[in-house]
Chains A and B, each alone.
Chain A
Amino acid sequence: MRLNTIVPGGLSLILSICALLVSVPTYAEPETAPSASKIEIWPKVRTSLFGTREIHEDSSAIVQLEAPTRAEDASTVPIAMHTQLVQTAGRYIDKLYLVVDNNPSPIAAVFDFTPESGRADIETRIRVEQYTDVRAIAELNDGSLYMATRFVKASGGCSAPAGKDAEAAARNLGRIKFRVDGPITIGKPALAQLAVSHPNASGLVLDQISRLYAPAYYVRKIDVSYAGKPVLTADIDFSISENPNFRFYFLPTADGELRAEIIDTKDLKFESEVLVKSGSVSGGGN
């Protein structure tokens, strides 16, 4: 989904970005940003996603974006999109777009919400290329757009890294951690956390022998439903960190099952559910 024509130069731009790294001993980086890319990414992404529609930048009444000024680990940058609306049938946030301008794939994620989501908040971790604007754009059900922006400096090198333990990652592929913070109050948004063990890799590793690039291998879609109704859909790619991890809300209206389905680029499907009862929860792994 993300390797689309928005980014000029397409594949060649992606291939020019360094691929995989975990943490490197830090270098004494100069404080000023390296010479900026000549390609202005945001205008192209903006046009592709929203055409000429107005985007309100005075957005704090709708959505706020938390991100560190300096990323401690460019491969695992915690970000939070906090929304100020309680989702109701008449007025709700329909989508949140997460854009990381200078990433190989700038549209890191698109999250779909419903009134049953309770709140359209999302916390996750992303990979950050050096020195970039990170943007959270909320689209309401009436089509209006609100954007919050933060500038993030990645420290110590590129993003889209390899994991710390290649063998353990292979063993644990598809393992899910899924839980809901109790106690549950019917009618009050409840906080859930979903994580899946997955390399979520860009795949841009050149095999020295074959001189071929392995294909990208990442989680592309997550569907969460409660009592059979969607509460969160996420379209993501390798701009999300290894072991994609999300905190989000849902609105429990009666006892029911919170269900997650995760699909990756090999069309492998991973599933989990949590049973939710007023007062308590149970279940949560796979």
Chain B
Amino acid sequence: MRARQRNAVAMFRSAIGALALITVASRSLAATDAPKKLGIHAVAAGVYVHLGAQADTSLENHGDIANIGFIIGKRCIAVIDSGGTLQIGQQLLAAIRSVSPLPICFVINTHVHPDHVFGNAAFVGSDTEFVGHSHLPAAFAARRENYLNALTRVLGDAAGGSVIVPPTILIKDTLELDLGERKLVLTAWRTSHTDGDLTVFDTASQTLWTGDLLFVERTPVIDGSVRGWLTTLDELRKQRPAHVVPGHGPVDPPWPHAIDAEAHYLNILISDVTSAQKNGRTLSQTVEIAGLSERSQWLLFDNYNRRNVTACYTELEWED
């Protein structure tokens, strides 16, 4: 974006922010102290999701930028990803309580990224266990301080209380969790979007929660291995779930078209980077030219494509 455009966006955002403030102020006389509720909708019986904004974390969205939700069994509830701040986690909890009083037995994190995990603290309690890929504790340890600093820098007080809560139940291959006559199958994947990706399959409703293995409409982010991710997508697309909840984007996207669109972008990156490398292009030259044919297909493309090209280039340059 040109500087002028960026300034325009900044002014627009602060104007929206001002409007929002005015709106809130005029309602505050009747407001309670209860946290706002997140909008949730049922994907299937007992399966609820909240769609995050297709945006970067900002003061407008307080980190509510990923798809998060929960599944209700006879005995207890599993949360799948908790949002980008403690606040969002608390709002999710309020939404859960609007439909069920059952204890929350599991909070499952599909991977390490902040928009999926910083709501965890809202669920800490004696009933609740935290679940993740076996690589997740190390990923949290390595990134924790950095994520916290970035969160505070952008959100200030809105980030208050957001802490990392690592998993104690670790998945190496697969594991079944029972919510009371309701079984969830969790699968740990090879390094793909990150090195700690988990999917969750609700057998009762045949709903597949992909975590960020699937981005719909929003530019996928390579923070693991582009080759590994493509192999994983090959396997995922063989499944025939009745419902699909992606990490970002609308629920129940066309299947397997949504997988194919994402794989197509990753393959374009590989092809553009490989040919740039064959032509002796340096990393800084390649980030200018790779992936551009996909630009109109994805939201936030300019925010992420060049970084994806960097990830791809530094991965592929080690191949013979």
Residue of A nearest to B148 (CB): A18
Contact A168 B191 (CB under 8 A): yes
For window 96-154 of B, CB contacts with A under 8 Å fall at 113-115, 135, 138-139, 141-143, 145-150, 153-154
Q: Taking the complex as formed, is A52 at the interface, i.e. its CB lies under 8 A from any CB of chain B?
A: no
For window 277-320 of B, CB contacts with A under 8 Å fall at 280, 282-284, 287, 303-304, 306-307, 309-311, 314-315, 317-318
Contact B195 A66 (CB under 8 A): no
Shortest beta-carbon distance, A158 to chain B, in Å?
A: 5
For window 241-286 of A, CB contacts with B under 8 Å fall at 243, 245, 247
Given contacts A66-B284, A164-B311, contact A27 B194 (CB under 8 A): no
The residues of A that contact B214 with a CB separation of less than 8 Å are: none
Given contacts A167-B135, A206-B145, contact A25 B307 (CB under 8 A): no
Contact A31 B284 (CB under 8 A): no
For window 184-218 of B, CB contacts with A under 8 Å fall at 191, 194-195
Residue of B nearest to A76 (CB): B310
The residues of A that contact B6 with a CB separation of less than 8 Å are: 31
- Chain A residues touching B, majority SS: loop
Size of interface on A: residues with Cβ below 8 Å to B = 47
Contact A157 B221 (CB under 8 A): no
Given contacts A80-B284, A164-B191, contact A205 B307 (CB under 8 A): no
Shortest beta-carbon distance, A73 to chain B, in Å?
A: 5
- Picked from B57, B135, B141, B142, the residue with its CB within 8 Å of the CB of A27 is B57
Q: Taking the complex as formed, is B232 at the interface, i.e. its CB lies under 8 A from any CB of chain A?
A: no
Interface magnitude class on chain B = 35 or more
Q: Taking the complex as formed, is A20 at the interface, i.e. its CB lies under 8 A from any CB of chain B?
A: yes
Contact B57 A158 (CB under 8 A): no
- Picked from A158, A161, A206, A243, the residue with its CB within 8 Å of the CB of B149 is A158
Contact A31 B10 (CB under 8 A): yes
Q: Taking the complex as formed, is B178 at the interface, i.e. its CB lies under 8 A from any CB of chain A?
A: no
The answer for the CA separation of A30 and B156 in the assembled complex, in Å, is: 13
The residues of A that contact B57 with a CB separation of less than 8 Å are: 25, 27-28
Contact B146 A161 (CB under 8 A): yes
- Picked from A25, A80, A177, A197, the residue with its CB within 8 Å of the CB of B114 is A25
Shortest beta-carbon distance, B272 to chain A, in Å?
A: 15
Contact B283 A125 (CB under 8 A): yes
Contact A25 B115 (CB under 8 A): yes
Q: Taking the complex as formed, is A23 at the interface, i.e. its CB lies under 8 A from any CB of chain B?
A: yes
Contact A164 B146 (CB under 8 A): no
Q: Taking the complex as formed, is A1 at the interface, i.e. its CB lies under 8 A from any CB of chain B?
A: no
Shortest beta-carbon distance, A98 to chain B, in Å?
A: 15
Contact A20 B142 (CB under 8 A): yes
Shortest beta-carbon distance, A142 to chain B, in Å?
A: 31
Shortest beta-carbon distance, A10 to chain B, in Å?
A: 19
Q: Taking the complex as formed, is A54 at the interface, i.e. its CB lies under 8 A from any CB of chain B?
A: no
A to B CB contacts below 8 Å, 7 in the list:
A18-B145, A20-B145, A21-B142, A21-B146, A27-B58, A66-B284, A168-B195
Which 3 residue pairs are nearest across A and B when measured between Cβ atoms? A21-B146, A162-B142, A28-B58
Chain A residues within 8 Å of B, Cβ to Cβ: 18-31, 34, 66, 68, 72-73, 76, 78, 80, 123, 125, 156-158, 161-162, 164-168, 172, 175, 177, 181, 195, 197, 205-208, 243, 245, 247
